[in-house]
Amino acid sequence: MQTHGRLCCLTLFSIAFWFAPGLSAATLDASHLPVVKGATFEVVLAKPDDSAVRYEKPLPLEKLPFQYRNDKYNSVGTAFAIGKNRFVTAFHVVLDGIGGRVGPPLLRDANGKVFAIDKVVGFSLSQDFVVFTVIDAPDVKPLAVDRGSHVNEAVYAVGNALGTGVVIRDGLYTSDTPEDENGKWKWIRFSAAASPGNSGGPLLDKDAKVIGVVLRKSPNENLNFALPIGMVLDAPAKASDSERRVSGRAMFMDAVQDGVFRVHVDLPLAFGEFAKVYQSQANAFFDAQWKELLAKEDANLFPKGDGSKKILAVSAPLDPYPTALRRGANNEWTYWTPQHGKSPLPGNGFVDAGALGKIAFLHLRKPDDLPLAKLYSDAGGLVDLIFKAMTFTRDVGDEKVRMTSLGPPITDVVFVDRWHRRWQHREFPVPAVDAVLEVYSLPVPDGYIVLLSTSSSRSRYSDGIQTETLTGLVSTSYDGSFAAWKEFLQQGDWVPADLAAAKVDIEYGKRFSIAPAGFSLTYGADLQPIDANGELAVSYGYLGRDGNATLGIAGVSAQPDMDKYTAIRINRHPKPFADSPRDFLSDWKDMVSRAHPEDGQPYKDSGMIWAGTTLGPPGADANVLYTLFYGSDANPSEAVTKQRLAAAVKGAAVHEH
CA distance 154 to 141: 23
Which of 240, 257, 292 corresponds to the end of one domain? 240
Domain assignment of residue 363, yes or no: yes
Check whether residue 229 and residue 333 sit in a common domain: no
Check whether residue 487 and residue 421 sit in a common domain: no
**Residue 161's pLDDT band (cuts 50, 70, 90):** low
Domain assignment of residue 633, yes or no: yes
DSSP H or E run through 400: strand 399-405
Q: Give the residue among 464, 383, 414, 395 at the shortest CA–CA distance from 52.
A: 383
Check whether residue 435 and residue 559 sit in a common domain: no
Lowest mean pLDDT segment, chosen from 119-128, 190-199, 310-319, 609-618: 190-199
Dihedral of the CA atoms 147, 149, 153, 157 (nearest 10)? 40
Distance of CA 289 to the CA centre of its chain: 18
List helix spans (H) across 80-160: 91-95
Check whether residue 506 and residue 614 sit in a common domain: yes
Domain of residue 340, CATH code: 3.40.1000
**Residue 160's pLDDT band (cuts 50, 70, 90):** confident
Domain assignment of residue 263, yes or no: no
Does residue 444 contact residue 475 with C-beta atoms inside 8 Å?
A: no
Domain assignment of residue 247, yes or no: no
Domain boundaries, position 29: 9-240
Which of 222, 240, 258 corresponds to the end of one domain? 240
pLDDT, one tens digit per residue, over 56-73 is: 999 999 999 888 888 999
Distance of CA 397 to the CA centre of its chain: 27
pLDDT, one tens digit per residue, over 405-418 is: 999 999 999 999 99
Does residue 46 contact residue 96 with C-beta atoms inside 8 Å?
A: no
Domain assignment of residue 313, yes or no: no
Amino acid sitting at position 547: G
Instruction: Please give the average per-residue pLDDT across 478-484, as a whole number.
Output: 97
Check whether residue 75 and residue 177 sit in a common domain: yes
Domain assignment of residue 276, yes or no: no
pTM: 0.91
- Does residue 638 sit in helix, strand or coil? helix
Check whether residue 451 and residue 500 sit in a common domain: no
Burial (CB < 10 A; 0-12, 13-18, 19+), residue 623, is exposed
> Which residues lie below 8 Å from residue 623, measured CB to CB, with a gap of 6+?
574, 575, 657
Check whether residue 488 and residue 569 sit in a common domain: yes
Check whether residue 466 and residue 512 sit in a common domain: no
Check whether residue 330 and residue 434 sit in a common domain: yes
Check whether residue 404 and residue 436 sit in a common domain: yes
> What integer best gives the mean pLDDT of the chain?
92
Rounded to a whole number of angstroms, the CA Rg of the chain reads 32
- Does residue 136 sit in helix, strand or coil? coil
CA distance 650 to 520: 11
Domain assignment of residue 575, yes or no: yes
Answer yes or no: is pLDDT of 23 > 70: no
For the chain, the domain total comes to 3
Check whether residue 430 and residue 394 sit in a common domain: yes
Which of 178, 210, 240 corresponds to the end of one domain? 240
Check whether residue 15 and residue 123 sit in a common domain: yes
pLDDT, one tens digit per residue, over 594-608 is: 999 999 999 999 889
Answer positive or negative: Cα dihedral of 527, 498, 371, 56. Answer: positive
